[in-house]
């Protein structure tokens, strides 16, 4: 079942051409074990490029940057709370890889503290489609 284009009260993550209802993702994870695979040590390699941890290389700009509240990230996040990662696909089905849709404050803190992994749920394609909010 697809997410309604009219939603209220949802925590929404918006990245490029995609939007997801995090509340719906959490509901699915609580009810259906088959919607995701749990990884105790998901790699954070490459995630710093989307955060303000490092400035862009000289002469370059960051085209995509995930905004986080640094004070919140460093004081109020629980690094044992799993990330939610979704497969990214174009409307035509082209695979764009995997991307965290929930947990960026935890990623920021973990990277700041030198951690290389966090626990994560990797959603399957059907679950990602069920939580995607049409634009």
| Cα atoms found within 13 Å of the Cα of residue 48, Cβ hemisphere only | 15
Position 30 scores a pLDDT of: 94
> How is residue 33 annotated by DSSP?
G
**pLDDT tens digit string along 10-56?**
899 998 888 999 999 999 999 988 999 999 999 999 999 899 887 77
Question: pTM of the prediction?
Answer: 0.89
Position 71 scores a pLDDT of: 96
Using alpha carbons, list the distances in angstroms from residue 62 to 20, 49, 56, 68, 134.
23, 8, 6, 15, 26
Q: Which domains does the chain have, with CATH numbers?
A: 12-131 (3.90.1530)
**pLDDT tens digit string along 64-106?**
889 999 999 999 999 999 999 999 988 788 899 999 999 999 9
Position 2 scores a pLDDT of: 57
């Amino acid at each position: 079942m697809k997410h309604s284009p009219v939603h209220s009260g949802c925590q929404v993550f918006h990245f490029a051409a995609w939007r997801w209802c995090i509340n719906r993702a959490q509901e699915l994870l609580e009810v259906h074990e088959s919607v995701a695979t749990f990884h105790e040590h998901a790699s954070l390699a490459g995630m710093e490029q989307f955060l303000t941890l490092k400035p862009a290389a000289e002469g370059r700009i960051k085209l995509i940057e995930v905004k986080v509240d640094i004070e919140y990230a460093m004081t109020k996040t629980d690094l044992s709370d799993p990330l939610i990662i979704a497969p990214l696909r174009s409307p035509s089905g082209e695979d764009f890889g995997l991307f965290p849709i929930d947990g960026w404050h935890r990623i920021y803190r973990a990277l700041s503290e030198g951690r290389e992994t966090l626990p994560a749920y990797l959603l399957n394609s059907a679950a990602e489609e069920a939580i995607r909010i049409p634009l």
